[in-house]
Amino acid sequence: MPLWLTIAEGLPFAKAQGIALGITISIAAIVSSILYLAADHPPTLDGKSLALEFELKIPPTLKMPTQASMQNLHASLYANDRDNRYALLDYDKIATRDGFVFVAGKASLLSQTFNRDLLVSIESEGGASQFIKLKLRAKPTKEDEEWSDWMTARERADLSPVPEGERIAVRYRVQPEE
């Protein structure tokens, strides 16, 4: 059998294989695009990743540890089950003003959600962690680079109410990550 006849007989098979491969690649590209667009991406501003800078205001009614450290004073930024991580607190710059203890902190924003809470724990208080509901947009804007008003905790980690005189307060702003 001549070679050209052997090649000609295989052309319909190669054509069918090419069409099947093209359809498979097209479906994979469409599904991948949909999944990428549906995924939760970290918010950005002017193309830069964002961090939440905050300042805690701890009332004098709460007993602070003598030497604050990650083991006895910590905070975490909670957005959802996959985005819950410890914030970095600046233990070297803890200050006291008017009886209140002020602690600066920072946490990366890793998801676009309007449902964010700051959980603050002081271990010398018997693990009485407090939730502070943040009023931050899912996609922060330039306005969010200004300090917010002070917000106070309303409930503990066990969902019991926090007495007024024991409420930890926070103010925050969004800044580009360095």
pLDDT single digits (tens) 99-108: 999 999 999 9
Q: Are strands 44-45 and 48-58 parallel, antiparallel or unpaired?
A: antiparallel
Those residues of the chain that have pLDDT short of 70 are: 1-11, 13, 40, 125-128
Q: Which of 56, 119, 117 is nearest to 91 (CA)?
A: 56
- What is the Cα–Cα distance from 34 to 46, expressed in whole angstroms? 24
For residue 27, what are the CA distances in angstroms to 18, 21, 99? 14, 10, 63
- What is the Cα–Cα distance from 74 to 69, expressed in whole angstroms? 8
3-state secondary structure of 41: coil
Specify the residue for token string 């501003």.
45
Structure tokens at 83: 């985005």
Q: Are 146 and 137 in contact (CB under 8 A)?
A: no
- What is the Cα–Cα distance from 149 to 97, expressed in whole angstroms? 18
Q: Are 87 and 118 in contact (CB under 8 A)?
A: yes
Q: Residues with Cβ < 8 Å from 137, sequence gap 6 or more? A: 114, 144
- pTM, whole model, 2 decimals? 0.76
pLDDT in tens, 58-98: 999 998 888 888 889 999 998 877 778 889 999 999 999 99
Q: Which of 92, 119, 97 is nearest to 107 (CA)?
A: 119
What pLDDT score was predicted for residue 8? 57
